[in-house]
Amino acid sequence: MNRLRRSDRWLTHSAAVRHTLVEATDPLVVDLGYGARPDTTLEMARRLRTIRPDLRVTGLEIDPARVVDSVEGVNFARGGFEMAGLRPNLVRAFNVLRQYPEEAVPEAWSRILSGLAPGGLLVDGTCDELGRRCAWVLLDAHGPISLTLAWDPFTVAMPSDIAERLPKVLIHRNIPGEPIHRLLQAADRAWSTAAPLAPFGPRVRWHAALRQLAVNGVPTVPPRRRMRDNVLTVPWDLVRPNT
């Protein structure tokens, strides 16, 4: 099972990601810290190659014992935040920064962003073991752009249940007075308001909740297509932690 499939689907349909890959002369994607097996890297490569069939993909792991031979045209190598000297157009780093203290996140972001090709993007995310609850931050050279929450419509009861899988930069900020807490509470209220649509399924109900959030003044980014997942994307300024 690919626990990062929700991020894969989002990446494939993200306007920013598509633009970055389409405009690149020789597009390169790095999957940073892919883990014990390369499966998630291979699945990401398959999906993103629907955008650019000539896409180069490299998986990097700090543990040399996890580095495997090339598979399906995907390379694997040892590397960390320095990205083995590569200059990728897109970096995905999932479940990497959660092992670091919150105060170390800005420096880690800076190191990765400094190694991107011009116009490159970073996705810093976290998910649970089965990939049912996911959250990620999209960044460019200037810093965070957006926060996305994505979850399995059939196993997550409330939007705020995603709080336990927030990226490291936000996971300790889900407390009263912080913007991320206000967003999750607003999402829960919109979800409750959409309860009359529950008989039509959680996807229909969530689309109604998204419309309610917009009515309530929450600047959500509407999905570009009908999604299999329940997804909430908002501008980073809406959830930027208090100093």
CB 189 within 8 A of CB 215: no
Region for 131 from its dihedrals, namely left if φ exceeds 0, alpha if ψ lies in -120 to 50, beta otherwise: left
Fold classification of 5-151 is Rossmann fold (3.40.50)
pTM above 0.75, yes or no: yes
Domain ranges (residues) in the chain: 5-151, 159-218
205 vs 228, which has greater pLDDT? 205
Q: Within 10 A of 161 (CB to CB), how many other CB atoms are there?
A: 16
Strand, coil or helix: what is 144? strand
Helix (H) or strand (E) holding 93: strand 90-94
- Per-residue pLDDT of 157-216, as tens digits, reads 999 999 999 999 999 999 999 999 999 999 999 999 999 999 999 999 999 999 999 999
Is the per-residue pLDDT at 222 higher than 90?
A: no
* pLDDT band (50, 70, 90) for residue 90: very high
Sign of the dihedral through C-alpha 59, 60, 64, 66: negative
